[in-house]
Every structure is written in structure tokens, then in C-alpha cells.
Structure 1
Amino acid sequence: MDIPKYGFLSKKGGVIIYQLIILGAIAWIVQTALGYLQIKDFNTHYSELRKLGKVIVGKNKGKISSGTVVAFAIDDSGRIIKGEYMEGISVLARMKLLEGLEDLALNKINDDDLNEYSKGIKKAVKNAIKNYKLK
């Protein structure tokens, strides 16, 4: 049986298929490694916040837009000691300091307090408030 020169089942097409499979496997490995580093970064920041007080986490899952996670260290009265956030659409996003909400009572934060923040951060903060009220 003759192998056709061109087409899906040809020698040349088979090599391309293998190259695509290898490329996909490499992309998956890189994605997994970067995801691991992102989780490790979050856990490190979470542990640091935990040393300051109770930690409340809020999230806003982005379907097409970027997702956001906020974490607040709060004291026994519910006042924010420190806040951090992670926002982005890729595994390259890292935790950053969330300034401007320190010393506010978490359950008393309103929309005016959140004017300067992105839509994702606003939604994540509101989710954190909801999570705080559930405790």
C-alpha cells in the first residue's frame, strides 16, 4: 500500500500531528508549573496575613474578564489590618497590597469606600463582606 504524499495520514502530516501533541504537552506542563507557583504565592501571603489576625477571603470569578481574589487580615472587632489582592486572567497574577481600606470595619464598607478600585476588586470585597457575615 502506497502512503500518500500529502494529507492527514501522510508521513508529513503524521509528523505535524506529533509536533502538535508535544507542543500541547509542553504548554500543559508550563501551565501546571505556573499555577503551582501562583498557589504557592497566595499561600505565602495568606500565612503572612494570618499572623496579623483572622483572614477573610473574597473572590470574583471572571468568565471572560479577569478574576480577582482579595484577602483581609482583620482584628477581633472586624477592622481591616491589611488587605491584599490578586487580579488577572492568567497564572502570572500575583498578590499585591490593597491600600486604602485599612482601619475600616469590614462589615461597614460601602460603595463610596470602593470608588477607586476596579470592578473585579469591588465584587471580591463584597464577597469577602458576605463571607465575613456568614461566620
Structure 2
Amino acid sequence: MNNMLALGILVVGAFLIQSALGFFQIRHFGNEYNELKADGRVAIGKRAGKLTSGTIIMFQLDEKGVIVRGKKLQGTTILARFKPYNNLNGRLIEAIKADDPDVLAEIKITRKTIMNAVTNYRMFINGETIPEKESPFKELTKKITNIKFG
């Protein structure tokens, strides 16, 4: 019985630590977003990493849609922090394409994140709703319910 109690305390402790660190990362995101938003519009791209690092890129834009500065968060843990990302400064965000040399110079997950930011910006400008990505649990549930037996 003592082993079960110790295991339970360990699990609850790990959950509380993860929750606290997650809260700090969300607060960090909010602070970075507010800093960029104070000086203009912000385009955000995200790419979740299932077993690899996830990435979030935020571009601060001027009134014409030109990238003034960017920030990138990339990592596998909740300890990752935003760092300056200025590789596309001075570029019109709508003109960025997947085959752009500056985009191709990045690793695959960063390329996808950049293009997600461009797509999200285009959708927003056109008055479209940006779709929410489903949680991994919901995706798994859909796959299970779509299995044909027989």
C-alpha cells in the first residue's frame, strides 16, 4: 500500500510541476505577444511537434503587412523561450512563398511554421475564420470511430 501511495504522490507532484511550468510558458507567450502587438499587427504561425520540437513564430507587421521583427519559440519542453527571429524582416508577408530561398534555408518544422503564419495572415485579411487544430485525443477518437470492421 505504501508503494501505491508513493506512486500517487509522485504522479500528483509531477502534474503540479508541469502545470506550473506550463502556466509560466503561457504567461511568457502573452508577454512576448503583447510586446509585439503594442507596435503593430502580429501574425502567428504554429506547428506542434508530436515527438519532435514544436515551433511558434510571431511576426510584427507594419500597416502595409511588412515584417518589422519576429520572435521564434522552438523546443521540446515547456522550458523553451522566445528568441529573436529576424530572417524575414523587411519582407511583405503576403509575398512569402514556400519555395522562397529564405524559407527553404530553414529546417522543415520552421518552414511549415512560417507558412502557417502566412496562411493565417491571408485568411485573417480575407475575413475567413482560422481553423482550430484538433487535439491529439480527438484525432485518435476520430480514427478509431472511422475504422471499418468486416
TM class, shorter-length: 0.7 to 0.9
* RMSD, aligned α-carbons: 1.0
Aligned partner (choices 18, 31, 40) of residue 53 of structure 1: 40
What corresponds to 1:3 in structure 2? none
Rounded to whole Å, the distance in 2 between the matches of 1:57 and 1:115 is 19
Greater shift after overlay, 41-50 or 92-101?
92-101
Instruction: Give 5+ residue unaligned stretches, structure 2.
Output: 125-150
Aligned partner (choices 105, 108, 115) of residue 95 of structure 2: 108
CA radius of gyration, larger in: 1
What corresponds to 2:12 in structure 1? 25
Rounded to whole Å, the distance in 1 between the matches of 2:52 and 2:29 is 20
What corresponds to 1:134 in structure 2? 123
Question: Which gives a bigger RCO, structure 1 or 2 (Cα 8 Å, sep 6+)?
Answer: 1
Greater shift after overlay, 113-122 or 78-87?
113-122
Greater shift after overlay, 27-36 or 103-112?
103-112
Counterpart amino acid of 2:71?
E
Normalised by the size of structure 1, how large is the TM-score? Answer: 0.86
The 8 Å contact of residues 52 and 81 in structure 1, kept in 2 or not, is answered as no
Aligned partner (choices 49, 58, 62) of residue 71 of structure 1: 58
Instruction: Give 5+ residue unaligned stretches, structure 1.
Output: 1-13
The 8 Å contact of residues 79 and 105 in structure 1, kept in 2 or not, is answered as yes
- Describe the SS at the equivalent of 1:85: strand
What corresponds to 1:16 in structure 2? 3
Aligned partner (choices 110, 124, 132) of residue 121 of structure 1: 110
- Describe the SS at the equivalent of 2:106: coil
The 8 Å contact of residues 58 and 124 in structure 1, kept in 2 or not, is answered as yes
Shift of the alpha carbon at 1:117?
2.3
Shift of the alpha carbon at 1:87?
0.9
Identity fraction in percent: 35
Rounded to whole Å, the distance in 2 between the matches of 1:77 and 1:106 is 9
Q: Tell me which stretches of 4 or more aligned residues in structure 1 moved more than 3 Å.
A: none
What corresponds to 1:39 in structure 2? 26
Shift of the alpha carbon at 1:51?
1.3
Matched residue count: 122
